[in-house]
Amino acid sequence: MIDRSSAPPLGTDLYDVVIVGGGHAGAQAAIALRQEKFAGTIAIVGAEPELPYERPPLSKDYLAGDKPFERLLIRPVAFWAERAITLLPGTRVVTVDAVTRLLRTEAGQTIGYGELIWATGGTPRRLTCDGHSLRGVHGIRTRADVDRLLAELPDAREVVVIGGGYIGLEAAAALTKLGKSVTLVEALDRVLARVAGAPLSRVFEREHRAHGVRVLLGAQVACIEGSDTVAAVRLADGGQLRADIVIVGIGIVPEIAPLIAAGAEVGDGVLVDAQCRTTLPHVYAIGDIAAHANHFAGGAVIRLESVQNANDQAVVAARTIVGREARYEAVPWFWSNQYDLKLQTVGLSTGFDDLVVRGDPATRSFSVIYLRGGRVIAIDAVNAVKDYVQGRALVVAGKHIAPAALADTSRPLKELV
């Protein structure tokens, strides 16, 4: 509970736990605290005006028009009131004083906390070349981002997507479905190069091209051309791509400036221990911003941008706050829907030294299994739910399995556990 022995500034709102960030991580932290029978006061402080909502569908169902925003809400409005969780939307925290345990907002409001959970996620990484701020250049991270994009779409025909990661590919698929002419520009020699092996990359490249997307690999952006509004993308080789809209999907920048200013130790994100505690007393960090030593990455300190990570770290922080023993050791998992391909991933393929393609990609149902030192470390399953579900145990156990056995589709993976 909050220490009220010293008087805070007049007008300060006091809460036993303040959660900064209203995405998956922040919402789940509040939910988990109540599930753990935490009886103190809780507030979720979010910079956006909306109730906590899911972000992954923004570049999929919401952009494509298949799901209204109301269906993205993590919980209905009544849920938060019933559990005595205060929501402070449209409130941006700009400073953290870890000594007095006070937050100051952009509007000058002061908020006191007993325990602080930082769950702000990140902002889309922007281009640095000329023209990066022209009208018509978009990132995809918030509802407002997508709503601005949707407002411009009716008058747009040519769309250039920069970045061949999940966000870029999902946006390309959604915009193709909406009848736009899409060109995808990737600086590396294949899409998904940072997160998957070449066999998976090639399948998704072929799929996008089959749906009319022009996929340019090994292509560097020199600048964005236009006056007030984007007109074209100029490539480093001199090529020009006409563009009514440009979508930039090249990663995120963690929103951690107030924690850095407060003295938190950082790397690629805020450094946390196995209980999601930062180096600041009474301050936790969870979700996309939390740099942690991950067992499934061979102990390397990494950030994970996934719903799984957000939810599981939220539970660890909540249990630690209520005095229960908890450690973050969850197996990572991810998913992506593009056209009729459902990709489900378990584990982390980073650092693999061998891979096995299980099944025939031509059938549109197959898996790619990654090994390091003979141990199974990750599985990418495409329209292969059984491989995803059964292969999870192989990843968790780090099993040594002969590649020939993994490739044998006549044997269910559960037989190899």
pTM: 0.94
Q: What are the residues facing 376 on neighbouring strands?
A: 371
- Give dist(CA 392, CA 389) in Å, integer: 6
Please give the DSSP secondary-structure letter assigned to residue 141. Answer: S
Q: Are 101 and 3 in contact (CB under 8 A)?
A: yes
Alpha-carbon gap, residue 373 to 268, rounded angstroms: 27
Instruction: Set out the domains of the chain in order of their start, with CATH numbers.
Output: 13-123+252-322 (3.50.50.60), 126-248 (3.50.50.60), 340-415 (3.30.390.30)
Binned at pLDDT 50, 70 and 90, residue 5 comes out as low
Q: Would you say residue 391 has pLDDT above 60?
A: yes
The SS3 assignment for 78 reads: helix
Residue 358 DSSP SS3: strand
Which pLDDT score, from 0 to 100, does residue 6 have?
62
Question: Which own/partner pairs from 290-297 qualify as long-range (CB within 8 Å, at least 24 positions apart)?
Answer: 291/266, 291/267, 292/328, 294/332, 294/348, 295/329, 296/331, 296/332, 296/347, 296/348, 296/377, 296/378, 296/395, 297/348, 297/350, 297/351
Rounded distance between C-alpha atoms, residue 164 and residue 187, angstroms: 8
Continuous H helices in 57-142: 61-64, 77-82
Read off the pLDDT of residues 40-68 as tens digits, 9 standing for 90 and up. Answer: 999 999 999 999 999 999 998 999 999 99
What pLDDT is attached to residue 155? 94
Q: What would the pLDDT profile of 216-271 be if each residue is shown by its tens digit?
A: 999 999 999 999 999 999 999 999 999 999 999 999 999 999 999 999 999 999 99
Q: Identify the residue with better confidence: 168 or 417.
A: 168
Distance CA 177, CA 197 (A): 26
